[in-house]
């Protein structure tokens, strides 16, 4: 059963109305500000890619509620294993925008989480972060910590062997790990109907004797509610958030080759931001002027962040050799000196 | 007196005793003590929270071991045979080897992945391959191979202490063929050093793992021909201790590299390339490789023809000594 609190028009369902009553005003406003900021940030990233300021980028537009709602339910000590399309998660938990921009600008420094964070660098090979999240959850359980590990992945990842291995391990050892699938309908160009003969991702959980939820991923309240509940179980849970990426797979992709304008229009009418804004406006939490003013502030922060990243000076030769091993091995030092010699005479340009 | 497989079990016992964060994970390593008994007695002594029988799931084992390492544990993983490591290949090369770099030193990737490897014991199909070169080609990962019970324990304990991930390859052929004195205590051998195990003048024989016994046998035959060979046990395939190899070949002027893996792009090719770059002035003859052929490892009826042998080594040395 699809869990739904907030309808596309901005009206609460019965369950949604009860959940709304449990929220503090700060939570309600946080969710709104996060959704709006994440959309602004994501659109800026696409723009900056077009302007040549950053590299190829994987936009998240349409998936903001799934990311903000789930990440908002997490604790700072939780382990987070993102895929490469989780900028909304990063923003919500407090990863600096400069780090995210650095990563998409090809700067490894952007992968380093701020002190105290267990936010793992984005995983590119599909589903490989799932067994790792299982291990991190295992470490927490062994130490008697109360946190969880959450692995983010898409619908395509559910066809990988690592998906099975991770769910099986988590279930066999009963580990506190949340498998959070954003089913956005497509793995690049392949629709979910061709990816899987199971009608849903959530139903796979039954095979592992694992709890599962299927939630409207464009409904930030339902996602927040479900992840908060799942987090409290301290057991493995599979969550399928039904959503849609309204943009392309990446800035190098043309989505019109594999899906119709009509389909995209249907999903634009289910927009996650619009429906929550409508709710907040109708509840009188904020007015439109205040929203516009806040957007201006976020835009200023974004401009400062990109300028900061554009100051990048390559750290050579150490940027290549540092952290590969805990110390640079003797036989690598010659290669390090070679890079230094080119960097010194100015023949390496970045 | 211990066999190599006993010394490996002993090293893991010592590691489990010395450090509470050490965990063992693998298939059949608990109650059964490992299919080769390399974890014999450990499940009974340390319990199933620390000596963990896992599902049959190599990517799951290595992937979750990485998560455990990131969470502050020190996993020692057993892959039942090196040939069965391929499902975990992606976890190893794309993640285990890179997590330190990718997180810029924030998250630990320190773990040991043990795997029996190599041929010569008449094992079933796909139980005898020597695929070390795949892993030597993976920066961030260390590859270490012992050649005796004594070095197995010291190198394995060295690998456990190392902050980097280590693939520890155990030559199957040596598991039970020799016994030697192995100290009962904790001791460490450096995992980044090659070892000159016999001094000589005329030729340097370079190998690792099970090939070391073969090199010693070949050396006896060469002595009868009045040829004095120096033998180097490379031990650390990656990062490699090239200086020890260079120094030896500068002295002898001749080098024969011996490995079970297929010749093309084997570790011998890398050693030969480095020798040609660094010590060309000292060479009296071309660099020779005695290696497996560029064919899939045969079913065991033909493995004697595939594997390096003393005959092949002696012939290679003769070609170099009489090179004009």
Q: Cβ–Cβ contacts within 10 Å for residue B310, how many?
A: 17
Q: Indicate which residue of A173, A258, A259, A274 is catalytic.
A: A258
Cβ separation B242–A131 shorter than 8 A: no
Nearest CA distance, B41 vs chain A (angstrom)? 22
User: What mean pLDDT is predicted for residues A318-324?
Assistant: 95
Q: Hey, of A77, A115, A121, which one would you mutate to test binding to chain B, going by the most B CBs within 10 A of its CB?
A: A121
Active-site annotation holds for A349:
no
Write out residues 62-81 of B within 8 Å (CB-CB) of A.
62-73
- For residues B65 and A59, what is the distance between their CA atoms, to the nearest angstrom? 32
Question: Is A93's Cβ below 8 Å from some Cβ in B?
Answer: no
Render B40-66 in DSSP notation, one character per residue: TTHHHHH-TTTEEEPPS-HHHHHHHHH
Percent pLDDT > 90 in chain A is 95
> With left for phi above 0 and alpha for psi between -120 and 50, is residue B26 left, alpha or beta?
left
CATH architecture of the domain formed by B195-321: 3-Layer(aba) Sandwich (3.40)
Q: Hey, of A324, A327, A335, A338, which one would you mutate to test binding to chain B, going by the most B CBs within 10 A of its CB?
A: A324
Q: Hey, of B49, B67, B246, which one would you mutate to test binding to chain A, going by the most A CBs within 10 A of its CB?
A: B67
C-beta separation of B274 from B183 below 8 A? no
Verify cis geometry, omega within 30 degrees of 0, for the bond prior to A113.
no
Closest CA to B249 of B277, B217, B225: B277
pTM for the structure as a whole = 0.96
A343 confidence band (pLDDT: 50, 70, 90): confident
Residues of chain A with C-beta less than 8 angstroms from the C-beta of B68: 135-136, 138-139
Q: Domain B4-174: which CATH class?
A: alpha beta
Q: State yes or no: pLDDT of A284 exceeds 70.
A: yes
Reported as half-sphere exposure (CB side, CA atoms, 13 A), residue B256 has a value of: 28
Q: State yes or no: pLDDT of B154 exceeds 50.
A: yes
> What burial class does residue A348 get, using C-beta atoms within 10 Å of its C-beta: 0-12 exposed, 13-18 middle, 19+ buried?
middle
- For residues A45 and A64, what is the distance between their CA atoms, to the nearest angstrom? 14
- For residues B19 and B8, what is the distance between their CA atoms, to the nearest angstrom? 17
Q: State yes or no: pLDDT of A151 exceeds 60.
A: yes
Question: Is B234's Cβ below 8 Å from some Cβ in A?
Answer: no
Contacts of A49 by beta carbon, 8 Å cutoff, 6+ apart: A55, A56, A57, A104, A251
- Token pair recorded at residue B13: 């016992």
In Å, what is the CA distance from B112 to each residue of B15, B25, B69?
12, 10, 10
Residues of chain B with CATH 3.40.50.970: 4-174
Mean pLDDT of chain B: 98
Q: What is the pLDDT of residue A349?
A: 54
Q: State yes or no: pLDDT of A348 exceeds 70.
A: no
Contacts of A208 by beta carbon, 8 Å cutoff, 6+ apart: A167, A168, A170, A171, A236, A238
Contacts of A297 by beta carbon, 8 Å cutoff, 6+ apart: none
Chain mean position to CA B205: 17
Q: State yes or no: pLDDT of B322 exceeds 60.
A: yes
- For residues B121 and A346, what is the distance between their CA atoms, to the nearest angstrom? 56
- For residues B42 and B25, what is the distance between their CA atoms, to the nearest angstrom? 12
Nearest CA distance, B77 vs chain A (angstrom)? 13
- For residues A254 and A262, what is the distance between their CA atoms, to the nearest angstrom? 16
C-beta separation of A164 from A128 below 8 A? no
Nearest CA distance, A194 vs chain B (angstrom)? 25
- Token pair recorded at residue A96: 């600096």
Q: Indicate which residue of B95, B127, B137, B259 is catalytic.
A: B127
Residues of chain B with C-beta less than 8 angstroms from the C-beta of A323: 100-101, 104-105
Q: Cβ–Cβ contacts within 10 Å for residue A301, how many?
A: 12
Contacts of B318 by beta carbon, 8 Å cutoff, 6+ apart: B225
Q: What are phi and psi of A240, to 5 degrees?
A: -110, 115
- For residues B68 and B44, what is the distance between their CA atoms, to the nearest angstrom? 22
Q: Cβ–Cβ contacts within 10 Å for residue A293, how many?
A: 11
Nearest CA distance, A327 vs chain B (angstrom)? 9
Question: Is A157's Cβ below 8 Å from some Cβ in B?
Answer: no
Render A103-148 in DSSP notation, one character per residue: HHTT-GGGGSPPTT--BPPPB-STTTHHHHHHHHHHHHHHHT----
Residues of chain A with C-beta less than 8 angstroms from the C-beta of B77: none
Closest CB from B71, B102, B239 relative to A332: B239
- For residues A201 and A208, what is the distance between their CA atoms, to the nearest angstrom? 13
B324 confidence band (pLDDT: 50, 70, 90): confident
Closest CA to A120 of B294, A318, A244, A134: A134
CATH of A2-312, one of 3.40.50.970, 3.20.19.10, 3.40.50.300, 3.40.640.10: 3.40.50.970
Domain boundaries, chain A: 2-312, 315-350
- For residues B115 and B182, what is the distance between their CA atoms, to the nearest angstrom? 21
CA quadruple B271, B277, B283, B287: dihedral, nearest 10? 30
Residues of chain B with CATH 3.40.50.920: 195-321
- Token pair recorded at residue B133: 């070169």
- For residues B67 and A134, what is the distance between their CA atoms, to the nearest angstrom? 7
Helix, strand or coil, per DSSP, at residue B296: coil
Residue of A nearest to B59 (CA): A162
Cβ separation B103–A132 shorter than 8 A: no
Q: What is the pLDDT of residues B100-111, one digit of tens each?
A: 999 999 999 999
Q: State yes or no: pLDDT of B50 exceeds 70.
A: yes
Q: What is the pLDDT of residues A113-131, one digit of tens each?
A: 999 999 999 999 999 999 9
- For residues B300 and B278, what is the distance between their CA atoms, to the nearest angstrom? 39
Q: What is the pLDDT of residue B130?
A: 97
Nearest CA distance, A54 vs chain B (angstrom)? 19
Q: Cβ–Cβ contacts within 10 Å for residue A143, how many?
A: 12
Q: What is the pLDDT of residue B102?
A: 97
Closest CA to B179 of B153, B141, B157: B153
Q: What are phi and psi of A111, to 5 degrees?
A: -80, -15
Q: What is the pLDDT of residue A350?
A: 46
A166 confidence band (pLDDT: 50, 70, 90): very high
Chain mean position to CA A298: 19
User: What mean pLDDT is predicted for residues A28-35?
Assistant: 98
Work out whether strand B236-238 and strand B142-144 pair parallel, antiparallel, or are unpaired.
Answer: antiparallel
User: What mean pLDDT is predicted for residues B193-203?
Assistant: 98
Residues of chain B with C-beta less than 8 angstroms from the C-beta of A149: 67
Active-site annotation holds for A258:
yes
Q: Cβ–Cβ contacts within 10 Å for residue B61, how many?
A: 28
> With left for phi above 0 and alpha for psi between -120 and 50, is residue B108 left, alpha or beta?
beta
A345 confidence band (pLDDT: 50, 70, 90): low
- Token pair recorded at residue B158: 């060295």
- Please report where in the chains the tokens 């799932």 appear, as a residue: A130
Q: State yes or no: pLDDT of B52 exceeds 80.
A: yes
Q: What is the pLDDT of residues B204-253, one digit of tens each?
A: 999 999 999 999 999 999 999 999 999 999 999 999 999 999 999 999 99
What per-residue string of b and e applies to B135-163 under the rule 16 or more CB within 10 Å gives b? bbebbbbbbbbbbbbbbbbbbbbbbbbbe
Contacts of A177 by beta carbon, 8 Å cutoff, 6+ apart: A133, A134, A136, A137, A148, A149, A150, A151, A166, A170, A236, A237
Q: How far apart are the first and last CA of chain A?
A: 52
> With left for phi above 0 and alpha for psi between -120 and 50, is residue A140 left, alpha or beta?
alpha
DSSP tag of B234: -
Q: Where are the alpha helices (DSSP H) in chain B?
A: 4-18, 42-46, 58-70, 89-90, 99-102, 132-136, 149-161, 211-224, 242-252, 267-278, 303-306, 310-321
Q: Cβ–Cβ contacts within 10 Å for residue A93, how many?
A: 21
User: What mean pLDDT is predicted for residues B256-277?
Assistant: 98
Q: What is the pLDDT of residues B143-152, one digit of tens each?
A: 999 999 999 9
Q: What is the pLDDT of residues A72-96, one digit of tens each?
A: 999 999 999 999 999 999 999 999 9
């Amino acid at each position: 059963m699809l869990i739904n609190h907030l309808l596309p028009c901005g009206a609460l369902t019965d369950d949604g109305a009860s959940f709304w009553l449990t929220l503090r005003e700060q939570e309600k406003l946080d969710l709104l500000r996060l959704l709006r900021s994440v959309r602004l940030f994501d659109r800026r990233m696409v723009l900056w890619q077009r302007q040549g300021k950053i590299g190829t980028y994987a936009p998240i537009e349409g998936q903001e509620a799934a990311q903000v709602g789930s990440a908002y339910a997490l604790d700072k000590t939780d382990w987070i294993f993102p895929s490469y399309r989780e900028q909304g998660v990063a923003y919500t938990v407090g990863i600096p925008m400069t780090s995210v921009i650095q990563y998409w600008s090809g700067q490894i420094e952007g992968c380093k989480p701020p002190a105290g964070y267990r936010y793992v660098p984005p995983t590119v090979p599909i589903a490989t972060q799932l067994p790792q999240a299982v291990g991190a959850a295992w470490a927490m359980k062994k130490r008697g910590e109360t946190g969880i590990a959450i692995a983010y992945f898409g619908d395509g990842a559910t066809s990988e062997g690592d998906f099975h291995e991770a769910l099986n391990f988590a279930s066999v050892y009963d580990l506190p790990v949340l498998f959070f699938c954003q089913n956005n309908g497509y793995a690049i160009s392949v629709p979910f109907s061709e990816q899987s003969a199971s009608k849903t991702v959530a139903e796979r959980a039954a095979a592992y004797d694992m709890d599962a939820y299927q939630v409207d991923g464009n409904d930030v309240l339902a996602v927040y509610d479900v992840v908060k509940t799942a987090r409290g179980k301290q057991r493995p849970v599979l969550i399928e958030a039904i959503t849609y990426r309204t943009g392309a797979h990446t800035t190098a992709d043309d989505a019109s080759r594999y899906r119709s304008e009509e389909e995209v229009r249907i999903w634009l009418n289910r927009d996650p931001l619009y429906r929550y804004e409508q709710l907040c406006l109708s509840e009188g939490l904020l007015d439109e002027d205040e929203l516009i003013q806040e957007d201006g502030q976020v835009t200023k922060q974004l401009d400062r962040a990109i300028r900061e990243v554009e100051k990048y000076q390559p750290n050579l030769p150490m940027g290549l050799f540092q952290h590969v091993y805990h110390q640079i091995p003797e036989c690598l030092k010659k290669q390090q000196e070679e890079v230094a010699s080119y960097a010194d005479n100015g023949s390496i340009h970045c | 007196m211990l066999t190599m497989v006993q010394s490996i079990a002993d090293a893991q016992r010592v590691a489990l005793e010395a450090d509470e964060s050490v965990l063992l994970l693998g298939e059949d390593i608990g109650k059964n003590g490992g299919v080769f008994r390399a974890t014999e007695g450990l499940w009974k002594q340390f319990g199933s929270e620390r000596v963990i029988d896992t599902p049959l799931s190599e990517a799951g084992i290595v992937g979750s071991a990485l998560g455990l390492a990131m969470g502050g544990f020190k996993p020692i993983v057993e892959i039942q045979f090196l040939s069965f490591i391929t499902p975990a290949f992606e976890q190893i090369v794309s993640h285990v080897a890179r997590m330190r770099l990718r997180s810029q030193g924030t998250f630990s990737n320190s773990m040991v992945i043990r795997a029996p490897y190599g041929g010569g014991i008449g094992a079933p199909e796909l139980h005898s391959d020597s695929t070390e070169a795949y892993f030597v080609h993976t920066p961030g990962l260390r590859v270490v191979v012992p050649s005796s019970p004594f070095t197995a324990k010291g190198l394995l304990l060295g690998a456990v202490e190392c902050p980097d991930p280590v693939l520890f390859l155990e030559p199957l052929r040596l598991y039970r063929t020799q016994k030697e004195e192995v100290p009962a205590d904790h001791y460490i051998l450096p995992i980044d050093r090659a070892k000159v195990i016999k001094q000589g003048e005329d030729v340097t024989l370079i190998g690792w793992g099970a090939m070391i016994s073969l090199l010693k046998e070949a050396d006896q035959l060469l002595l009868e021909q009045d040829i004095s060979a120096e033998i180097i046990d490379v031990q650390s395939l990656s990062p490699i201790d090239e200086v020890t190899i260079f120094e030896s070949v500068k002295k002898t002027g001749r080098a024969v590299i011996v490995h079970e893996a297929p010749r093309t792009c084997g570790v011998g090719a890398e050693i030969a390339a480095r020798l040609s770059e660094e010590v060309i002035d000292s060479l009296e003859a071309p660099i020779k490789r005695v290696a497996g052929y560029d064919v899939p490892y045969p079913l065991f009826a033909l493995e004697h023809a595939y594997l390096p042998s003393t005959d092949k080594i002696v012939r290679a040395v003769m070609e170099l000594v009489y090179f004009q």
